[in-house]
Amino acid sequence: MLLATYLVGGMAMNQSLLQFQQVLTLMLFRILESTDGVVGVLGAIEAINVLKRSGFKLKRSLEVIMFTSEEPTRFGISCLGSRLLAGSEALKKALKKTADNQNISFLDAARSAGYAKDQKDLSSVFLKKGSYSHFVELHIEQGPILEEEGISIGVVTAIAAPASIKVDFEGDGGHAGAVLMPNRNDAGLAAAELALAVEKHVLESGSIDTVGTVGILELHPGAINSIPSRAHLEIDTRDIDENRRNNVIEKIHQSALTIAKNRDVKLSGFNIVNQDPPALSEESIIKAMETASQELNLTHKLMISRAYHDSLFMARISPMGMIFIPCYKGYSHKPEEFASIQDIANGVKVLALTLAKLSMH
């Protein structure tokens, strides 16, 4: 059985290709919810349409998956659908206690959306390894390389290993006018120092493939006339080399301890939330994607995915490959995110031909 994409609306809801209408309804929801996933879903359906229109006879069945919650927006867990489908025991346990910021539990939210009706145990959602012979995902690059080099197709050979860290500092706070500088232990300045230390340690790794970002930095109470008494940071670090990435994490931890000591603030939290291993694309899928690009007269390039995707988790239960297309300046997760119709069409053609090739064996 060949897997192109497989639909998981709320949790493990299978859709055959004949039920297109419902798929499209759900897709509109996904379009409202996010941006970078749209081409992956619509493109997969169009690729199958292309094969249908061309009269191609499938030797394996094709399925479309739309994963729920690739973005960690509601429950703070990225790739929630694919992670659980791929059999994450840690996630299965965590979801029992997970709630959104309105304090609605994940299980209640799933039930009210019509899923997980009688399920206290989400392991029924797990897919067995070998359920699919191949998994292929089409995605915008979310980086500037293809656009800058004028190349049509990125053939992904590996997905960089992401790790997330949550850090909390606590100080005594106080009034911004009344507490003199020597008497302060400002949690916000500790956070500012750590943000700059993250950048420093990443740049010191010696590899262009190491990246680190402080995307969240929140101060409490967050008033102009209050010294911050608490600061919360969320740090994302990635690398294609797991050891090098973990070494950066260790240096960030050391910096957090040193900063806390020097500023007399408390390091009240340093939690590595996830530390996923990297994933490699499967050789036969890489080959099929390259050959497809060549036969379509499209320039292509082997490349690393520095963003991670549902494919990172699907790789745990199926051979995996990814096709990238150029996007404007590498922008993603913001209104300026854009891919041209021509580039999307190229990606869909390569996906269709790749599926055709893989389904012949």
For the bound state, the minimum distance from the C-beta of residue 145 to a second copy, rounded and expressed in Å, comes to 9
Comparison of 36 and 46: residue with beta carbon closer to a second copy: 36
177, 206, 297, 341: which one contacts a second copy (CB under 8 A)? 177
Q: Tell me how far, at minimum, the Cβ of 89 lies from Mn ion, in Å.
A: 24
Closest approach of Cβ 186 to a second copy, in Å?
7
Give min distance, CB of 154 to Mn ion, in A.
14
Residue count of the chain:
361
Nearest to 84, CA basis, from 162, 4, 8: 8
Quote the Cα angle for 179-180-182, to 5°.
120
SS3 207: coil
Q: How far is the CB of 150 from Mn ion (least distance, A)?
A: 23
The entry of Mn ion, a second copy, none near residue 142 (CB within 5 to 8 angstroms by kind) is a second copy
- The answer to whether the beta carbons of residues 169 and 190 sit under 8 Å apart is yes
Q: What residues between 114 and 143 interact with a second copy by CB under 8 A?
A: 141-143
Strands 135-140 and 230-239: unpaired
Distance CA 177, CA 136 (A): 59
- Least distance CB 143 / Mn ion (angstroms): 12
* Phi and psi based region of residue 141 (left: phi greater than 0; alpha: psi -120 to 50; beta: remaining): alpha
Q: Which does 175 bind (CB under 5 to 8 A by kind): a second copy, Mn ion, none?
A: a second copy
Residue among 84, 94, 155, 176 at smallest CA distance from 125: 84
- Residue 189 near a second copy by CB under 8 A: yes
- Smallest CA-to-CA distance from 76 within 166, 159, 198, 13 is with 166
At 249, which amino acid appears?
I
Q: How far is CA 188 from each of CA 103, 180, 219, 258, 260, rounded to the nearest angstrom?
A: 27, 16, 6, 15, 11
290 in Cβ contact with 155 (< 8 Å): yes
Specify the stretch interacting with Mn ion by CB under 5 A; choose among 29-37, 78-86, 192-200, 230-238. Answer: 29-37
Decide if residue 39 touches a second copy (CB under 8 A). Answer: no
DSSP readout, 291-310?
HHHHHTT--EEEEEE-S--H
Among 20, 126, 331, 338, binds a second copy (CB under 8 A): 331
Number of chain positions touching a second copy (CB under 8 A): 68
Does the protein bind a second copy through residue 334 (CB under 8 A)? yes
Per CB under 8 A, does 347 bind a second copy? no
Candidates 9-17, 44-52, 229-237, 276-284; binding stretch for a second copy (CB under 8 A): 229-237
| Burial (Cβ within 10 Å: 0-12, 13-18, ≥19) of residue 155 | buried
Q: Which stretch binds a second copy (CB under 8 A): 17-25, 41-49, 224-232, 314-322?
A: 224-232
In angstroms, what is the minimal distance from the CB of 64 to a second copy? Answer: 24
Residues contributing to the site for Mn ion (CB under 5 A): 36-37
Binding residues for a second copy (CB under 8 A): 71-73, 78, 141-144, 160, 162, 164, 172-183, 186, 188-189, 191-193, 195-196, 199, 202-203, 208, 210-219, 221-229, 234-236, 238, 305-308, 329-334
